[in-house]
Amino acid sequence: TFEPGKKLLHEGLLSEPGIFVIRSGTVELRRYTSPQDNPAYRLGRRPLLQVRGGGESMKAESRPGQVVRDQMAEGDDADYVVIDTLEQGASFASLSAMPLPGAEPFTVVVTSPGTSVLMGSERCVRKLPAADLAKLRQVLVQSAKARMRKLEALHPDAFSHRSTAAVVS
């Protein structure tokens, strides 16, 4: 059971394979409106450790793990667009569970109090009969494709590979 604000998947990060089914409550699939607002983007653009004068050791609160947690929390106030709202009975998966390569395209955030979500880890997924797993993955991939199409419709430039610096009038 999770409370509002709990992030189950993070846009821009690689995730462990996992399949999620919402038992009760709601979650939103969100996308940051600007890559610079995405904490994962910022973490990828600068080092975790900064050398201090004289090589002094870092305090516990500024160790890499805490730096990552602090950076991920900074994205809570950033602008985002809601791509989908999922309710009881809906399912979603990390890309690696489908299995598809790449970082997560959305942040999945719990939005209602007492939301209950069943989570199947990679080990649980591997125990499914092969035919059932193939069908399940097919459904999950189709749902993911629909969400990506919705993202593209809302933000046509989201999949543009053109650099604005390369466009010459």
Encode pLDDT of 55-97 as tens digits.
444 454 556 667 677 777 776 778 888 999 999 999 999 999 9
pLDDT at 165: 42
Q: What is the DSSP letter of 78?
A: S
Could you tell me how far CA 149 lies from the centroid of its own chain?
A: 17
Query: What's the half-sphere exposure (Cβ side, CA atoms, 13 Å) at 78?
Result: 23
pLDDT at 51: 40
Q: Kindly provide the b/e burial profile for residues 60-74, where b requires at least 16 CB atoms within 10 angstroms of the residue's own CB.
A: eeeeeeebeeeebee
95-141 pLDDT per residue, tens: 999 888 889 999 999 999 999 999 999 888 888 899 999 999 999 99
